């Protein structure tokens, strides 16, 4: 089952690869087709098709509560993305310079949010904010999102940094460049693709988060996923599908932009 060049194994040659792949992709994407399709249903009962209509999109785009939820989500995602990327960049450089003995322990601690159940993280964060009497709302959500977005931003930044030839830094130091000049003129430009990828990943993770946002949302701190959950609890209408479709569209656009940037940086 080797590839034509004999350099490895081709997954396409495994038995039942095609049918299994079709089942997996169907299970992932067919529900999205239903979400998008029924967002154009003119019937208030979402599962009964009556006719094509854009009224639900008009209702979503003119709803003041939805607009406030969108603003909250964009504010939280933007601020947490900037902060997490700054911390992630510093951590990536710091880990590169750490001794081997402490690097593994530090990496494990930083990556902990990726393996800790989100519900546990949300409950712990809520308990902490209540204990220190930090008000719940947009600011609390922003701090929590920054904390769990750091590992997501760190992964592409660290991968990019590890691919950089260290001889570049040695040459710059030999030419008399100080730490700040090396960071500004060499490190940042070389890390730019990783930073952009990490920022887009952190933005999507923050924008789509529900559990942490739900636990920490105080008065006026409702984000878009939390608002969608509230709509579902009241009644499932095509308006929920329309709002979900718009959120899906934003995610697709960001992923596409990330892919295009990565292609151009090669």
Residue-wise pLDDT tens digits, 133-169: 999 989 999 999 999 899 999 988 888 887 776 667 6
In the block, residue with structure tokens 């964009």: 74
**How confident is the model at residue 169, as a pLDDT?**
66
Q: What's the pTM?
A: 0.79
Give CA angle at 61 (56, 63), nearest 5°: 90
Per DSSP, which regions of 33-179 are E strands? Answer: none
Residue that wins the pLDDT comparison between 135 and 104? 135
Q: How far is CA 128 from CA 36, 136, 143, 237, in A?
A: 39, 11, 12, 37
R_g (Cα) of the chain, nearest Å: 23
- Rounded to whole angstroms, the Cα distance separating 2 from 48 reads 50
- Rounded to whole angstroms, the Cα distance separating 177 from 186 reads 10
**How confident is the model at residue 18, as a pLDDT?**
77
**How confident is the model at residue 1, as a pLDDT?**
44
Q: Stretch 48-59: mean pLDDT, rounded?
A: 82
Q: Stretch 159-182: mean pLDDT, rounded?
A: 71
Q: Stretch 88-102: mean pLDDT, rounded?
A: 78
| Percentage of the chain exceeding pLDDT 90 | 21
Which candidate, 184, 235, 225, places its Cα nearest to that of 56? 235
| Percentage of the chain exceeding pLDDT 70 | 87
Query: Residue 33 pLDDT > 80, yes or no?
Result: yes
Which candidate, 137, 164, 258, places its Cα nearest to that of 202? 258
The band of 2, judged by pLDDT with boundaries at 50, 70 and 90, is very low
Q: Stretch 50-78: mean pLDDT, rounded?
A: 87
Residues 6+ apart with CB under 8 A from 221: 72, 136, 137, 138, 140, 141
Residue that wins the pLDDT comparison between 220 and 100? 220
**How confident is the model at residue 165, as a pLDDT?**
67
Decide: 201 and 111 in contact? Cβ < 8 Å.
no
Tell me if the domain spanning 55-265 has CATH number 1.10.3720.10.
yes
- Rounded to whole angstroms, the Cα distance separating 98 from 121 reads 28
**How confident is the model at residue 141, as a pLDDT?**
94
**How confident is the model at residue 42, as a pLDDT?**
80
Query: Residue 247 pLDDT > 90, yes or no?
Result: no
**How confident is the model at residue 101, as a pLDDT?**
67
Query: Residue 256 pLDDT > 70, yes or no?
Result: yes
Residue range 204-226, pLDDT digits in tens:
899 888 999 999 988 778 898 88
**Domain boundaries along the sequence of the chain:** 55-265
Q: Residue 17: CA atoms inside 13 Å, Cβ hemisphere, count?
A: 8
Q: Stretch 197-209: mean pLDDT, rounded?
A: 89
Of all residues in the chain, what percent are helix, strand and coil, respectively (each to 5)? 75, 0, 20
Which candidate, 144, 141, 159, places its Cα nearest to that of 88? 159
3-state secondary structure of 42: coil
């Amino acid at each position: 089952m080797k590839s034509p060049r004999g350099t490895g194994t081709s997954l396409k040659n495994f038995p039942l690869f095609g049918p299994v792949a079709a089942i997996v992709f169907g299970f992932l994407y067919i529900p999205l087709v239903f979400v998008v399709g029924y967002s154009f249903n003119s019937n208030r009962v979402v599962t009964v098709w009556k006719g094509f209509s854009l009224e639900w999109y008009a209702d979503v785009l003119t709803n003041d509560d939805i607009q406030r939820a969108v603003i909250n989500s964009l504010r939280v995602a933007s601020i947490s993305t900037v902060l997490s990327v700054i911390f992630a960049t510093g951590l990536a450089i710091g880990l590169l310079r750490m001794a081997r003995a402490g690097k593994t322990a530090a990496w494990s601690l930083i990556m902990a949010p990726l393996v800790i159940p989100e519900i546990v993280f949300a409950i712990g964060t809520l308990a902490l904010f209540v204990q220190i009497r930090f008000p719940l709302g947009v600011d609390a959500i922003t701090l929590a999102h920054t904390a769990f977005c750091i590992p997501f931003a760190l992964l592409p930044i660290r991968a990019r940094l590890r691919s950089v030839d260290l001889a570049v830094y040695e040459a710059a130091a030999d030419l008399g460049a100080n730490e700040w000049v090396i960071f500004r003129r060499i490190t940042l430009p070389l890390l730019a693709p990783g930073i952009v990828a990490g920022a887009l990943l952190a933005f999507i993770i923050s924008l789509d988060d529900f559990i942490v946002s739900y636990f920490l949302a105080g008065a006026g701190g409702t984000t878009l996923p939390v608002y969608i959950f509230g709509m579902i609890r009241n009644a499932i209408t095509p308006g929920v599908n329309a709002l979900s479709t718009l959120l899906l569209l934003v995610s697709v656009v960001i992923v596409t932009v990330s892919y295009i940037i990565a292609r151009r940086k090669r």
